[in-house]
């Protein structure tokens, strides 16, 4: 496997862990801050927010 593909997979795994942690924080009540971080973290944030039923 190429170096770039390996890095891409590593970034994806890291992003997945980070999203899981952020969604756990949303349940505690830090919604606005966490949602902003989620939007900055991934381009598919709007899809994740819609799936989980989160609002601003």
Per-residue pLDDT, 32? 85
How many angstroms separate the CA atoms of 24 and 30, rounded? 10
**Virtual torsion, Cα 7, 25, 20, 9, nearest 10 deg:** -10
What residue ranges do the domains of the chain occupy?
3-52
What pLDDT band is residue 56 in, cutting at 50, 70 and 90? low
Q: How many CB atoms lie within 10 A of CB 25?
A: 15
**What string of DSSP letters covers 15-43?**
HHHHHHHHHHHHHHT-HHHHHHHHHHH-T
Q: What pLDDT, in 10s, does the model give residues 13-55?
A: 999 999 999 989 888 877 888 889 999 998 888 998 899 888 7
């Amino acid at each position: 496997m190429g170096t770039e593909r390996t890095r891409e997979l590593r970034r994806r795994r890291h992003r997945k862990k980070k999203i899981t942690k952020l969604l756990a924080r949303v349940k505690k009540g830090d919604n606005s801050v966490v949602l902003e971080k989620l939007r900055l973290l991934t381009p598919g944030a709007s899809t994740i927010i819609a799936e989980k039923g989160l609002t601003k």
